[in-house]
Structure 1
């Protein structure tokens, strides 16, 4: 098991991680530290526990929104079905024309 030495809000931590993931863990810790600094300046001194709770909820909210935006809307699904149906009709017409038929 590898270790990454990180710094959050002026404190140092040694975090176990998978080998080769040390740089990624440090980069994530830097992002978390920046987020905590931003939240702390916005809400004031509320204690580390509450600050981490707010940061965790904010990050989970962003993750949830990201996952929801990856799901196609009903309109997008209908449009995809229509495009697929139209493509099938064009292919059928092309096949008829290639076989000497008429449109």
Structure 2
């Protein structure tokens, strides 16, 4: 097992990871550190544990929003189906008008 050396809020950690993933873990930890510091700036110093909890919840909220709006999600499929039904209705209406000579 490989290890990635990261820093979070000025503290160093050695994290076990799959071989070859060290640089990815280090890059992700820099993003996490930036997000934690951003939240700390907004809410003040409420302790590392709570800052990490709030950061984790914020990241999960963003992930959930991204999943909901991603192609193939149930919401996007429902929007696509609704758009197709509306288009089909308009096409049917146009075809009926053309057949009746209007």
Distance in structure 1 (CA, Å) of the matches to 2:5 and 2:67: 30
1:23 corresponds to 2:23: yes
Match of 1:53 in 2: 53
Number of residue pairs matched by the alignment: 84
1:8 corresponds to 2:8: yes
Distance in structure 1 (CA, Å) of the matches to 2:60 and 2:84: 30
TM-score of the superposition, structure 2-length normalised? 0.75
Secondary structure of the corresponding residue to residue 4 of structure 2: strand
What's the Cα RMSD here? 1.8
Q: Compute the displacement of 1:73 (Å).
A: 4.4
Secondary structure of the corresponding residue to residue 32 of structure 2: helix
Q: Compute the displacement of 1:77 (Å).
A: 2.2
Structure 1 stretch 67-76 or stretch 24-33: which is displaced more? 67-76
Q: Runs ≥4 in structure 1, deviation > 6 angstroms?
A: none
TM-score of the superposition, structure 1-length normalised? 0.74
